Amino acid sequence: MFAWAKAEGIPVLSTVLRVRRNERGPLADVPHCVEGTQGERKIPRTILPRRIDLGLRNTTDLPNDLFDRYQQVIVEKRHTDIFAHARIERLLTELSAGTFVVFGVGLAHGIAQAAIGLRSRGFGVILAEDAVLDLGDDLAPMAARRMEAKGVIFVPAREIVCPKPKPRVAPFREALPARK
Protein backbone atom coordinates (compact mmCIF):
# COMPACT_ATOMS: atom_id res chain seq x y z
CA MET A 1 0.00 0.00 0.00
CA PHE A 2 2.81 2.42 0.86
CA ALA A 3 4.75 1.66 -2.31
CA TRP A 4 1.60 2.39 -4.32
CA ALA A 5 0.94 5.64 -2.45
CA LYS A 6 4.55 6.72 -2.94
CA ALA A 7 4.53 5.91 -6.66
CA GLU A 8 1.19 7.62 -7.26
CA GLY A 9 1.87 10.66 -5.04
CA ILE A 10 -1.10 9.90 -2.80
CA PRO A 11 -1.11 11.76 0.55
CA VAL A 12 -0.74 9.46 3.57
CA LEU A 13 -1.90 10.01 7.15
CA SER A 14 -0.13 7.54 9.45
CA THR A 15 -0.07 6.88 13.17
CA VAL A 16 2.44 5.66 15.72
CA LEU A 17 1.19 4.19 18.99
CA ARG A 18 3.45 5.07 21.95
CA VAL A 19 2.75 3.20 25.18
CA ARG A 20 4.53 4.43 28.31
CA ARG A 21 6.79 1.99 30.11
CA ASN A 22 4.99 0.03 32.84
CA GLU A 23 1.59 0.68 31.22
CA ARG A 24 -0.55 -1.97 29.59
CA GLY A 25 -0.90 -1.39 25.87
CA PRO A 26 -4.37 -1.31 24.33
CA LEU A 27 -3.84 -4.02 21.71
CA ALA A 28 -2.62 -7.02 23.74
CA ASP A 29 -1.77 -8.24 27.22
CA VAL A 30 1.91 -8.44 26.30
CA PRO A 31 3.99 -5.24 26.12
CA HIS A 32 3.83 -3.59 22.71
CA CYS A 33 4.63 -0.22 21.14
CA VAL A 34 6.59 0.72 24.27
CA GLU A 35 8.08 4.20 24.12
CA GLY A 36 11.83 4.20 23.56
CA THR A 37 11.94 0.67 22.13
CA GLN A 38 11.99 -0.80 18.63
CA GLY A 39 8.31 -1.66 19.08
CA GLU A 40 7.21 1.96 18.88
CA ARG A 41 8.99 2.67 15.61
CA LYS A 42 7.32 2.65 12.25
CA ILE A 43 8.28 -0.23 10.00
CA PRO A 44 10.77 1.20 7.46
CA ARG A 45 8.63 0.34 4.43
CA THR A 46 5.80 2.44 5.92
CA ILE A 47 7.88 5.62 5.93
CA LEU A 48 7.83 7.93 2.92
CA PRO A 49 10.68 10.33 2.08
CA ARG A 50 8.66 13.58 2.30
CA ARG A 51 7.14 13.30 5.77
CA ILE A 52 6.48 15.22 8.95
CA ASP A 53 5.91 13.79 12.43
CA LEU A 54 3.42 15.91 14.37
CA GLY A 55 4.39 14.22 17.62
CA LEU A 56 2.27 13.99 20.75
CA ARG A 57 1.86 17.70 21.46
CA ASN A 58 -1.67 18.60 22.51
CA THR A 59 -2.07 21.63 20.28
CA THR A 60 -4.06 22.42 17.17
CA ASP A 61 -1.23 24.29 15.44
CA LEU A 62 -0.36 22.90 12.02
CA PRO A 63 2.24 23.87 9.46
CA ASN A 64 0.82 25.68 6.42
CA ASP A 65 0.13 23.70 3.25
CA LEU A 66 0.81 20.44 5.04
CA PHE A 67 0.06 18.03 2.20
CA ASP A 68 1.62 20.33 -0.39
CA ARG A 69 4.92 20.14 1.47
CA TYR A 70 4.77 16.56 2.75
CA GLN A 71 3.37 13.37 1.29
CA GLN A 72 3.10 11.68 4.70
CA VAL A 73 1.84 13.14 7.97
CA ILE A 74 2.61 10.99 11.01
CA VAL A 75 0.55 11.42 14.17
CA GLU A 76 1.79 9.96 17.45
CA LYS A 77 -0.83 8.76 19.89
CA ARG A 78 -1.06 7.24 23.37
CA HIS A 79 -4.34 5.44 22.70
CA THR A 80 -5.81 3.69 19.70
CA ASP A 81 -8.28 6.45 18.82
CA ILE A 82 -6.65 8.86 16.38
CA PHE A 83 -9.35 11.42 17.16
CA ALA A 84 -7.95 11.81 20.68
CA HIS A 85 -5.08 13.74 19.06
CA ALA A 86 -5.86 17.47 19.06
CA ARG A 87 -4.46 18.09 15.59
CA ILE A 88 -6.57 15.52 13.75
CA GLU A 89 -9.82 17.49 13.87
CA ARG A 90 -7.98 20.59 12.67
CA LEU A 91 -6.25 18.67 9.89
CA LEU A 92 -9.51 17.10 8.70
CA THR A 93 -11.31 20.45 8.60
CA GLU A 94 -8.67 21.71 6.18
CA LEU A 95 -9.10 18.79 3.77
CA SER A 96 -11.63 18.82 0.98
CA ALA A 97 -14.12 15.98 0.93
CA GLY A 98 -12.55 12.78 -0.27
CA THR A 99 -12.02 9.13 0.44
CA PHE A 100 -9.58 7.55 2.87
CA VAL A 101 -8.13 4.07 2.43
CA VAL A 102 -7.72 2.57 5.90
CA PHE A 103 -5.45 -0.34 6.84
CA GLY A 104 -3.13 -1.40 9.63
CA VAL A 105 -3.13 -3.15 12.99
CA GLY A 106 -5.94 -3.35 15.54
CA LEU A 107 -9.15 -3.85 13.58
CA ALA A 108 -11.37 -3.77 16.68
CA HIS A 109 -9.73 -0.64 18.03
CA GLY A 110 -7.75 1.95 16.06
CA ILE A 111 -8.87 0.81 12.62
CA ALA A 112 -12.57 0.80 13.52
CA GLN A 113 -12.25 4.09 15.44
CA ALA A 114 -10.57 5.78 12.49
CA ALA A 115 -12.96 4.39 9.88
CA ILE A 116 -16.14 5.20 11.82
CA GLY A 117 -14.76 8.60 12.87
CA LEU A 118 -13.97 9.52 9.28
CA ARG A 119 -17.40 8.37 8.08
CA SER A 120 -19.14 10.40 10.80
CA ARG A 121 -17.20 13.45 9.55
CA GLY A 122 -18.44 12.98 6.00
CA PHE A 123 -15.45 11.26 4.40
CA GLY A 124 -15.63 8.16 2.25
CA VAL A 125 -13.77 5.19 3.71
CA ILE A 126 -12.46 2.09 2.00
CA LEU A 127 -11.00 -0.62 4.23
CA ALA A 128 -8.26 -2.70 2.60
CA GLU A 129 -9.68 -5.88 4.09
CA ASP A 130 -6.58 -8.00 3.51
CA ALA A 131 -4.23 -5.30 4.84
CA VAL A 132 -5.56 -5.20 8.41
CA LEU A 133 -4.70 -7.32 11.42
CA ASP A 134 -7.32 -8.11 14.03
CA LEU A 135 -4.76 -9.60 16.46
CA GLY A 136 -7.22 -12.36 17.34
CA ASP A 137 -9.42 -9.86 19.18
CA ASP A 138 -12.89 -11.24 19.97
CA LEU A 139 -14.32 -7.78 19.24
CA ALA A 140 -13.10 -7.76 15.62
CA PRO A 141 -16.24 -9.28 14.01
CA MET A 142 -18.49 -6.75 15.76
CA ALA A 143 -16.14 -3.90 14.79
CA ALA A 144 -16.35 -5.03 11.15
CA ARG A 145 -20.17 -5.06 11.32
CA ARG A 146 -20.19 -1.57 12.88
CA MET A 147 -17.95 -0.24 10.12
CA GLU A 148 -20.10 -1.84 7.45
CA ALA A 149 -23.24 -0.33 9.03
CA LYS A 150 -21.60 3.11 8.88
CA GLY A 151 -20.89 2.76 5.17
CA VAL A 152 -17.27 1.66 5.18
CA ILE A 153 -16.52 -0.26 1.98
CA PHE A 154 -14.47 -3.46 2.35
CA VAL A 155 -12.23 -4.16 -0.64
CA PRO A 156 -9.14 -6.34 -1.21
CA ALA A 157 -5.93 -4.32 -1.56
CA ARG A 158 -5.37 -5.56 -5.11
CA GLU A 159 -8.56 -3.74 -6.17
CA ILE A 160 -7.36 -0.52 -4.55
CA VAL A 161 -3.76 -0.53 -5.68
CA CYS A 162 -4.04 0.13 -9.38
CA PRO A 163 -1.10 1.53 -11.31
CA LYS A 164 -1.81 4.37 -13.69
CA PRO A 165 -2.25 3.06 -17.21
CA LYS A 166 0.85 3.46 -19.31
CA PRO A 167 0.39 5.42 -22.52
CA ARG A 168 0.35 3.20 -25.55
CA VAL A 169 3.45 3.66 -27.61
CA ALA A 170 3.22 3.38 -31.37
CA PRO A 171 5.78 1.03 -32.88
CA PHE A 172 8.83 2.69 -34.40
CA ARG A 173 7.97 1.31 -37.82
CA GLU A 174 5.05 -0.54 -39.09
CA ALA A 175 5.57 -3.25 -41.63
CA LEU A 176 4.78 -2.14 -45.13
CA PRO A 177 2.23 -4.19 -47.00
CA ALA A 178 3.80 -6.75 -49.31
CA ARG A 179 4.12 -5.66 -52.95
CA LYS A 180 2.29 -7.64 -55.53
The answer to whether residue 28 scores a pLDDT higher than 90 is no
Is residue 87 in a domain? yes
In which band, very low, low, confident or very high, does the pLDDT at 156 lie, cut at 50, 70 and 90? Answer: very high
- Number of folded domains in the chain? 2
State the Cα–Cα distance between residues 140 and 89, nearest whole angstrom.
Answer: 26
What mean pLDDT is predicted for residues 156-160? 93
Position 163 pLDDT exceeds 80: no
The pLDDT score that the predictor gives to residue 20 is 77
Which pLDDT does position 2 carry in this prediction? 92
Q: Which of 79, 95, 111 is the last residue of a domain?
A: 95
DSSP structure string for 61-91: ---TTHHHH-SEEEEEESSS-GGGSHHHHHH
pLDDT greater than 70 at residue 97:
yes
Q: Is the pLDDT of residue 143 over 70?
A: yes
Residue 172 belongs to a domain: no
Range in 51-65, 77-91, 164-178 with the lowest mean pLDDT:
164-178
Residue 38 above 90 pLDDT? no
Do 19 and 89 fall into the same domain? yes
Domain for residue 20, yes or no?
yes
- Is 142 within a domain? yes
Q: Of 95, 123, 152, at which residue does a domain stop?
A: 95
Tell me, yes or no, whether 175 lies in a domain. no
Both 53 and 77 in a single domain?
yes
What's CA 140's distance to the chain center, in Å? 18
**Position 24 pLDDT exceeds 80:** no
In this structure, is residue 169 part of a structural domain? no
Shared domain for 90 and 108, answered yes or no, is no
- Shared domain check, 135 and 79: no
49, 80, 95: which is the final residue of a domain?
Answer: 95
Side-chain-side CA neighbours of 30 within 13 Å: the count stands at: 2
Q: Is the pLDDT at 4 greater than 70, yes or no?
A: yes
Structure pTM? 0.82
Shared domain check, 158 and 113: yes
Residue 135: which residues within 8 A CB-CB, separation 6 or more?
27, 28, 105, 106, 107, 108
Could you report the per-residue pLDDT of 107-142, keeping only the tens digit for each?
A: 889 999 999 999 999 999 999 999 998 888 899 999
Full residue range of the structural domain in which residue 156 is found: 96-162
